[in-house]
Amino acid sequence: MNPRGVNFLEQDWDTLIILDACRYDIFKNTVDLPGETDYAISLGSTSRETISANFRDKSLLDTVYVSANGWFHRLKDNINTEIFRFIYTDRDAADGLTSHPSTVTERALQAYDEHPNKRLIVHYMQPHQPYLGEKGKWIKYGAALPETVKDNNVSKGELYEAYKENLQLVADHVETLFEKTSGKMIVTADHGELLGEPQSPIPIRDYGHPAGIYVDELVKVPWHVYTSGSRNIVSANEPFSESEDREDNIDEHLKALGYKV
């Protein structure tokens, strides 16, 4: 766990929007959302590390978590956490490798309407690969970003454009959440992404988000604040009694994204 990091769940928000593998510097220079952009330091450099560190020993019975990332479901029994409801979204993009941001937004808005007295976490998979936009969809997905770069002979410039395009795609859907919900909304990320920056002590270019590496490109993430309308009064309840999480499919999804489960 990154000792400089901040626990996102302990901050003040009504809706916490998590982008996957989103760097602060690129977010700041690419995204134009209403509100104010600052940065935060993540507790981890991978989804697994960040979710484990943020959620461990937490009681979140006032919270609904809508996610295209399966790590919370995979870890929840080992990190002593309870939540009112976890909703895992359908993987309907890139041949089932990821969820389209529109799908995540639609399910989040449905949860917002169904549970007006709950805080809401919305976890998108973008700008994490696979790349869905016109500039990036030609890049054939590899098990991890270094393999993707090698297998496709992608230049650093092409990778940046594909990444920024994925980021703008998800930002457009984040703005839809802004328009259709109220309260204090935070946009952040679970971790960042190396996009060919040379690393020390050996000056070789690296890609992706290796665990336990706490350079700025991997842990300096957006902290964008937008408030609209009134804030709901939230309350805790016993966990929602519905089993819609498909654990086998979640494990397959994580493996397809290059993670060891």
Listing DSSP states for 151-181 in one string gives: HHT--HHHHHHHHHHHHHHHHHHHHHHHHH-
pLDDT in tens, 213-250: 899 999 999 999 999 988 888 998 888 876 554 555 66
pLDDT of 76 reads 85
H helix or E strand, kind and range, residue 30: helix 24-30
Terminal CA-CA length for the chain: 18
Radius of gyration of the chain (CA): 17
Residue with tokens 């054939």: 140
pLDDT of 245 reads 47
Classify domain 8-256 by CATH number. Answer: 3.40.720
pLDDT in tens, 153-212: 988 999 999 999 999 999 999 999 999 999 999 999 999 999 987 766 555 568 889 888
Q: Determine the 3-state secondary structure of 1 from DSSP.
A: coil
pLDDT of 253 reads 62
H helix or E strand, kind and range, residue 184: strand 183-189
Listing DSSP states for 199-255 in one string gives: ETTTTEEEEE--TT---HHHHEEEEEEEEESPPPPP---SPP------HHHHHHHHH
Q: Tell me the domain boundaries of the chain.
A: 8-256
pLDDT in tens, 55-68: 999 999 999 999 99
Residue 19 pLDDT > 90: yes
pLDDT of 216 reads 94
Residue with tokens 């805790």: 236
Number of Cβ atoms within 10 Å of the Cβ of 244: 9
61, 234 Cβ separation under 8 angstroms: no
Say whether the peptide bond before residue 130 is cis (omega within 30 degrees of 0). yes
